[in-house]
Amino acid sequence: MQTRAYWNNYNMTFRDETHGPSAGGSFWQTCPLVAHFDPSVASVFYDDFYELPGTAAADKRWGITEDAGKTGTDAMLDMRGGVYSQYVGGTNNEETYLHTVSESWILTAGYSLWFEARVAIVETSTNEANFWIGLTDVEAANQVADTNAGPIDTYDGVGFFKTGGALTTVGFETSNNTTQSTSTSQWTIVSGAFRNYGCWIKTESTSDTVAVCTPYVDGVAGTAHNITLSGLAEMEFVIGLKTGATDAEEIFYVDYVKVIQIRN
């Protein structure tokens, strides 16, 4: 262990020269340390998936919304660090969503937010999976639209998405009702490979009218989007997966989800 302190994004933070990540190489180096540790400063949601999520009626943290066509069994995997797998059926446009059971986050002027999820998508049909990872006020069916159409046209949210149709690219979108800002192909994925999907939603003044949403994949920043704060609804964290044009089950693995938002 060779832990060092240094400044990044106006924050005092830490890195370890042996275990990493590199300076500037972690999304969480944008988040103040006091937000991680002091509950009077920020709320912290964190799940490392050591227990099997249940249905919304039975589980205190996660709910599952899905079609009934899958044959695979959702399960905890024998992997280091706790990893959960969730299936979606093989019929065209079948879908499954893992979502927090309450709308615990709303984007408001002066209340910055950070989220990150480490997720792998297992594409049984090559490049055909559709997915969503992020915050949204639509945790029910069809947050991911049918027929490889991407996120739906009307929702409040910030997140990452991929469309089917033999595509390997991942996009990022912010949405306030029907107003979307979309980057369609900032990153690529490999079936079964974990990637860290994070977003820093920055609003530090109560007079802000927009928040700056900077996406990070594996600690590297992508193109930032502005989102208008007025009119946004409360949101849940959602990981959604929908099948593409071929009749094969798809799977997502989730290692962890963490969301921090300034409280006061």
- Interatomic CA distance for residues 71 and 48, integer angstroms: 25
pLDDT digits (tens, 9 = 90+) for 13-36: 887 888 878 877 788 988 999 999
The SS3 of residue 11 is strand
| 167, 192: one domain | yes
Q: Which domain holds residue 245?
A: 41-262
- Interatomic CA distance for residues 89 and 43, integer angstroms: 35
| 103, 151: one domain | yes
| 102, 18: one domain | no
Q: How many CB atoms lie within 10 A of CB 262?
A: 18
Asked if residue 41 has pLDDT above 50, the reply is: yes
Cβ–Cβ < 8 Å for 76, 62: no
Find where tokens 């007025």 sit.
Answer: 230
Domains of the chain: total: 2
Q: Is 35 within the bounds of a domain?
A: no
Q: pTM to 2 decimals?
A: 0.94
pLDDT digits (tens, 9 = 90+) for 99-150: 998 899 999 999 999 999 999 999 988 888 999 999 999 877 788 999 899 9
| 8, 58: one domain | no
| Residue of 181, 216, 156 lying closest to 9 (CA atoms) | 216
- Interatomic CA distance for residues 46 and 258, integer angstroms: 4
CA angle centred on 14, ends 6 and 256, rounded to 5°: 145
